[in-house]
Every structure is written in structure tokens, then in C-alpha cells.
Structure 1
Amino acid sequence: MMPFAMPSNDHDLEDPALLRRLLRAKDRMDASSHEDWPVKRLAAVSGVSEAHFARSFKRAFGIPPHRYLLTRRIEQAVTLLRDTDLPITDIAFVTGWESLGTFGRIFRDITGKTPGAMRTEARAASSALDRVPACVLKAAQRPDLDTAVLEKRRRAAKATLRPSSTKEDT
């Protein structure tokens, strides 16, 4: 017998206990986005199986847990780039990235800009944004992760490749 209940459909998300457990995991990611949060750890925080957690989290919040964590890390990095003089390397490690190269590549894939370009642009625009509340800025600058980073790379690569034949792909 399995110790965890398996979801049968979207009605499971109407269960207040499950939603509280999912929010508990989401809150832990928010509070410690610099830490590693594999699905196994999140499922343990939520008290459900890994598969159940992953499916339920995506249905409840619209994106998988890993993409949610990436969103939080990028948001925090943008804030630090804009508001501090920390070197970009320090920002990468403070926000949970294990290498500067990975941070730079994923940051550029998600935001369309390098961290250095983002810092320059954010500081140039900061005088106009001084009167806007921080919560509104974060919401407006939240990265769009509806499409997986790897899918964005595939699409970009496909757009730059020339066809090998004159036939159209089907």
C-alpha cells in the first residue's frame, strides 16, 4: 500500500489540505531560493509523493516547481543587479547558481539580456522608476517562463539554421 494519495483529477486541487501543503513548499522555495530544491525535497516538505507533488504544483500554480524556482532566482538577481554594487559573480552564487556560466546563460535565455546589460539598463531607468512600489516592479519584471528554457533554445537554434534542402519541413 502506498503511503501517499494519488491525484485522480483537477478536483484534488480543491482539497484545502493539499493546497496548504503545496503553498508550504512554495513558501520554502521563496524563503530559500538560493538552496537546491529537488522535487524529492519539495515532496517531503509537502508530505506527498514526488509524482503527486509535481503534477499538483503545476496544476495549482501553472508552472512546474523547477521553473518557479528559476523565476524566483532570476527576480532576485535582477533586484541585486539593479540595487547593489555586488559583482555579477557574487550575485550568481548568492542567488543559488553553482557556476557563473550557467547563471549567465540561463539569465540571458530567460530575460534576453546578459546580467551586465541588465544592470546597465536597470540603472539607467532607475530614476524614472523610483516612485513605483517594489512589489509592482517585481510583478512587471517577472520572467516569462511559460516556455521551457530548452524549448526557447531549440526555437532560437532552428531560426538560425538554414534548411538542408529546398523541401519544406512537415
Structure 2
Amino acid sequence: MSSGTTDEQRLADLARLRRVKDRIDREYAQPLDVDALARGAHMSSGHLSREFKRAYGESPYGYLMTRRIERAMMLLRRGGMSVTDVCFAVGCQSLGTFSTRFTELVGMPPSAYKDRAGDATLGIPSCVAKQVTRPIRNREASPSSGT
């Protein structure tokens, strides 16, 4: 196989991965799983998972959950919704899984975050509050080494 063909295939894969990432960003609240994302990208689940992680530093499922938790953080900061309502609004089907993942990424349970979020961002412009309240995992993630 020539280098040109390999490069073309890699570019085609990257374009498909970008479409998968964009779909997750758009449809995070919908029921999405790796199999459905892979079918939509015309890739096998294993290939999608490996290549997505190589390109973006986390699995498609991990990226989906990060997006859901970021949205949940915003809804909890805004107030007016219970943790359970937020869980289902962002597309999670299990309150236990949502709470566990939220705690892993944010460093505290969603109920504690909800109680503290209003005080922590009081008087801060929403664009700044969004940046400084991103899940810990995103702030600690190192740039992908491409390996």
C-alpha cells in the first residue's frame, strides 16, 4: 500500500471521527452508544473506539459522559431542577451511574455541587464560570501524544 493511500485513509478516518464527535456534541441528551455511533460512521465499534481515543484522548463513551456532565453542571448552577431531573435531561438513564461519573469528573456528588455552585459563581460572568467550573478531568488532561 502506498503512503498516499495510507494518508488518504487516515484523513478519511479523521473526518469520520470528527463527525462522531460533532454528533456527540449535538445529540448528547439522546440515547447514544458506541455501536450506534460506529454504524453512523461506517466503522466497527472496536476501530471507532481505538481511533477516537487516539485522536481525542478518551473513548467515545468517556467523551459523551464528559459532555453530559458539563451540561449537568450548567443546569445545576442555573438551579430550578432536581439532580434526578438533571440526570435525565442530559441523557443519562441511571441516577447511580450519573452520580458516580459526576463525582469522578467534578470531585463532589451532584447534590453537593448544586448546593455550592450558586455561591461559587455568584457575580462571575457565565462565560468565565463555564470555563472555571469544567470537570476536573478536562483541566488535568494532557495533550494527546498521538500514540
Please give the range of the TM-score, normalised by the shorter of the 2 chains: 0.7 to 0.9
Q: Which amino acid aligns with 2:130?
A: K
> What TM-score comes out, normalization by structure 2 length?
0.79
* Alignment CA distance shift 1:91-1:13 (3 Å): farther
* Alignment CA distance shift 1:55-1:13 (3 Å): farther
1:12 CA displacement: 6.0
The DSSP-based 3-state class of the residue aligned with 1:127 is coil
* Alignment CA distance shift 1:110-1:65 (3 Å): same
The question of 1:112 aligning with 2:107 is answered: yes
1:69 CA displacement: 0.8
The question of 1:18 aligning with 2:16 is answered: no
> What TM-score comes out, normalization by structure 1 length?
0.69
- Aligned residue in 2 for 1:92: 87
Rg comparison, structure with higher value = 1
**Structure 2 CA distance for aligned equivalents of residues 15 and 138 of structure 1:** 34
- Aligned residue in 2 for 1:153: none
Cα deviations by residue, 1:90-109 (Å, 9 ceiling, x for unpaired): 10111112122222222123
- Aligned residue in 1 for 2:134: 142
1:14 CA displacement: 7.8
The question of 1:63 aligning with 2:61 is answered: no
**Structure 2 CA distance for aligned equivalents of residues 28 and 58 of structure 1:** 16
The question of 1:78 aligning with 2:73 is answered: yes
Q: Is the 8 A contact 1:13 1:60 kept in 2?
A: no
The DSSP-based 3-state class of the residue aligned with 2:30 is coil
- Which has the larger helix fraction? 2
- Aligned residue in 1 for 2:97: 102
Percent of paired sites with the same residue: 39
**Structure 2 CA distance for aligned equivalents of residues 48 and 106 of structure 1:** 27
The question of 1:51 aligning with 2:43 is answered: no
1:83 CA displacement: 1.2
1:139 CA displacement: 4.1
**Structure 1 CA distance for aligned equivalents of residues 14 and 71 of structure 2:** 25
The gaps in structure 2 that reach 5 residues or longer are: 1-5, 142-147
Q: Is the 8 A contact 2:77 2:118 kept in 1?
A: yes
The DSSP-based 3-state class of the residue aligned with 2:40 is helix
* Alignment CA distance shift 1:53-1:35 (3 Å): same
The DSSP-based 3-state class of the residue aligned with 1:129 is coil
* Alignment CA distance shift 1:92-1:13 (3 Å): farther
Cα deviations by residue, 1:13-47 (Å, 9 ceiling, x for unpaired): 98322111111111111111122322211111111
**Structure 2 CA distance for aligned equivalents of residues 127 and 139 of structure 1:** 14
